[in-house]
């Protein structure tokens, strides 16, 4: 492919400049969820707007929203070439517990081939590597090989409401042939990966009411409804003892993985089962019997209770029969399901399991669809070729258990395949103390993205 050697040489020669840039940006504490950091988030947006100008984009836009600003830019080189929409987020997670950090989270520290700071791999480091790839193309060929659109947000760690509205109102402006998201991780520096599936999510609240007021168990025990018991009864029957979810419509509609996927889950060639045991500090994995851990983690549905509230829980004793009990319950749903339909099925199951004499109400708090991208989609196939070339090893195709709402949004509202090619590593401590980004991954990432852009040129 044209320019390969020059691109690599440019990236190599300018690696320290890109690292310095990243250090500079990481110093801005753009914690989106804390109101006292609102100005810092704004500053981080201005910083990346300026960096886009330096990269070669003309007049990147800072878009004000009800929350934190969005940053949009485009570099349209040739209508005959495909257009890639690149997404990233410049906001970061809070830093507590601060005492567990070896270095202050906003004083980036380079140590043992890693750069330590909040936001290093999630997601500022991954944005800078994309800009480095674009800058290399600009230096070597005067412009990127294909049309580029950029959309960066500052609310990813805080719900991302503004970008959802913006995307739905600007489908024309954001139109592209595919989206590239560099905000995920790969198993190791020796094993690249691409994510071809993400589960959806359904988050609900279950509320049970009994009598119109709290009652005394001496005066009413034996005849009064106890919503906590009813709640526990329902929850305990939503899964069997071997963790099979009791929603018949959901179970009936699940499609089996391909035989290649089944083989991969069964063999666990990356040893993920062992790392999970170590990460969690447990001796046995819990979950649906009859399915290997990788399948349970990536594509099977899950049902988890996040919290239960009701009655008397502080010190001492109070013989109350509570009038109300609530629980937060969520499901991770295989990508091909509509979570709102799953909500209807769950409601039906809850009704069926509800004991007599209670008012039972299930509320849909939020729902987000999953995403699947076909492995043979050309945008995925080319990403795989770029990873194979730079890492000297073909990537594994993984289905991830988490949900990335922006990927579903691009997929559904903008009707484009989403390439989830991330360069973080499993031990990068994202959302935790001592977040880091591996500098070798930083460099390999730049090379991979530069190669990918060239490969997309028709």
Catalog residues that contact Zn ion under the rule CB under 5 A: 122-123, 183
Query: Who's near 145: CB < 8 A, 6+ residues apart?
Result: 77, 81, 137, 453, 454, 456, 457
CB of 30 to Zn ion, least distance (A): 12
CB of 111 to Zn ion, least distance (A): 22
CB of 122 to Zn ion, least distance (A): 4
Distances (CA, A) of 84 to 61, 348, 418: 18, 42, 10
Q: How far apart are CA 433 and CA 90, in angstroms?
A: 18
Burial class (CB in 10 A: 0-12, 13-18, 19+), 412: middle
Token pair in block for residue 325:
């009990």
For 136-164, b/e burial (b = at least 16 CB within 10 A) is bbbbbeebbbbbbbbbbbbbbbbebebbb
CB of 224 to Zn ion, least distance (A): 48
- Select 199 or 382, whichever has its Cβ closest to Zn ion: 199
Q: What's the CA angle centered on 205, arms 204 and 208, to 5 degrees?
A: 145
Contact 77, 142 (CB under 8 A): no
Helices (H), strands (E): how many in the chain?
A: 15, 18
- Select 122 or 400, whichever has its Cβ closest to Zn ion: 122
CB of 409 to Zn ion, least distance (A): 15
- Select 183 or 400, whichever has its Cβ closest to Zn ion: 183
171 strand-pairing partners: none
Closest alpha carbon to 255 in 334, 181, 319, 311: 334
Query: Who's near 254: CB < 8 A, 6+ residues apart?
Result: 300, 301, 334
Q: How far apart are CA 320 and CA 221, in angstroms?
A: 9
CB of 123 to Zn ion, least distance (A): 4
- Select 155 or 183, whichever has its Cβ closest to Zn ion: 183
> For strand 61-63 and strand 70-75, is the pairing parallel, antiparallel, or unpaired?
antiparallel
Query: Who's near 223: CB < 8 A, 6+ residues apart?
Result: none
Closest alpha carbon to 422 in 180, 184, 197, 84: 184
Token pair in block for residue 26:
């990481």
CB of 420 to Zn ion, least distance (A): 11
- Select 91 or 288, whichever has its Cβ closest to Zn ion: 91
- Select 185 or 455, whichever has its Cβ closest to Zn ion: 185
Distances (CA, A) of 20 to 24, 27, 90, 394: 6, 11, 17, 31
- Select 40 or 183, whichever has its Cβ closest to Zn ion: 183
Token pair in block for residue 159:
């719900």
Token pair in block for residue 371:
């995403």
- Select 154 or 334, whichever has its Cβ closest to Zn ion: 154
- Select 92 or 439, whichever has its Cβ closest to Zn ion: 92
- Select 155 or 324, whichever has its Cβ closest to Zn ion: 155
CB of 176 to Zn ion, least distance (A): 20
- Select 123 or 288, whichever has its Cβ closest to Zn ion: 123
- Select 327 or 420, whichever has its Cβ closest to Zn ion: 420
CB of 130 to Zn ion, least distance (A): 13
CB of 91 to Zn ion, least distance (A): 9
> DSSP assignment of 380-418, as one string?
HHHHHHHHHHHHSSPPEEEEESS--HHHHHHHHHS---E
CB of 424 to Zn ion, least distance (A): 9
CB of 157 to Zn ion, least distance (A): 7
């Amino acid at each position: 492919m044209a320019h390969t050697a020059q691109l690599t040489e440019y990236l190599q020669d300018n690696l320290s400049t890109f690292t310095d840039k990243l250090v500079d940006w990481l110093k801005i504490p753009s914690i989106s969820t804390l109101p006292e950091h609102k100005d810092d988030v704004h500053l981080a947006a201005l910083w990346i707007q300026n960096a886009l100008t330096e990269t070669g984009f003309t007049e990147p836009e800072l878009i004000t929203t009800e929350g934190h600003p969005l940053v949009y830019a485009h570099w349209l080189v040739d209508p005959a070439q495909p257009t890639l929409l690149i997404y990233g987020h410049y906001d970061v997670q809070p830093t507590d517990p601060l005492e567990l950090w070896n270095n202050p989270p906003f004083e980036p520290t380079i140590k043992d081939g890693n750069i330590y700071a909040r936001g290093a791999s999630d997601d500022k480091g991954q944005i800078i590597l994309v800009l480095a790839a674009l800058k290399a193309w600009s230096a070597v060929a005067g412009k990127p090989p294909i049309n580029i659109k950029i959309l960066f947000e500052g609310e990813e760690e805080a719900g991302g409401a503004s970008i959802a509205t913006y995307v739905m109102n600007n489908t024309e402006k954001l139109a592209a042939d595919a989206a590239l998201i560099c905000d995920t991780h790969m198993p190791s520096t020796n094993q690249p990966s691409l994510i071809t599936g993400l589960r959806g999510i359904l988050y609900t609240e279950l509320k049970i009411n009994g009598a119109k007021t709290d009652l005394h168990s001496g005066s009413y025990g034996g005849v009064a409804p106890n919503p906590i018991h009813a709640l526990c009864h329902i929850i305990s029957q939503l899964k069997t003892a071997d963790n099979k979810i009791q929603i018949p419509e959901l179970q009936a509609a699940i499609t089996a993985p391909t035989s290649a996927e089944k083989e991969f889950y069964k063999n666990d060639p990356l040893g993920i089962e062992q790392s999970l045991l170590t990460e969690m500090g447990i001796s046995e994995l819990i979950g649906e019997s009859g399915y290997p851990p990788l399948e349970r983690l990536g594509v099977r549905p899950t049902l988890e209770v996040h919290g239960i509230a009701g009655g008397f829980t502080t010190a001492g004793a109070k013989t109350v029969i509570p009038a109300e009990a609530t629980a937060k319950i969520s499901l991770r749903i295989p990508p091909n399901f509509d979570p709102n339909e799953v909500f209807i099925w769950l409601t039906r199951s809850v009704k069926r399991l509800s004991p007599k004499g209670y008012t039972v109400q299930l509320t849909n708090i939020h729902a987000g669809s999953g995403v699947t991208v076909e492995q043979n989609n050309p945008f995925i196939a080319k990403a795989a070729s770029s990873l194979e070339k730079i890492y000297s090893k073909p990537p594994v195709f993984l289905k991830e258990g988490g949900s990335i709402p922006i990927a579903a949004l691009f997929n559904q509202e903008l009707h484009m395949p989403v390439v989830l090619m991330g360069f973080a590593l499993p031990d990068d401590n994202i959302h935790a103390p001592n977040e880091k980004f591996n500098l070798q991954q930083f460099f390999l990432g730049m090379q991979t993205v530069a190669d990918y852009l060239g490969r997309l040129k028709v």
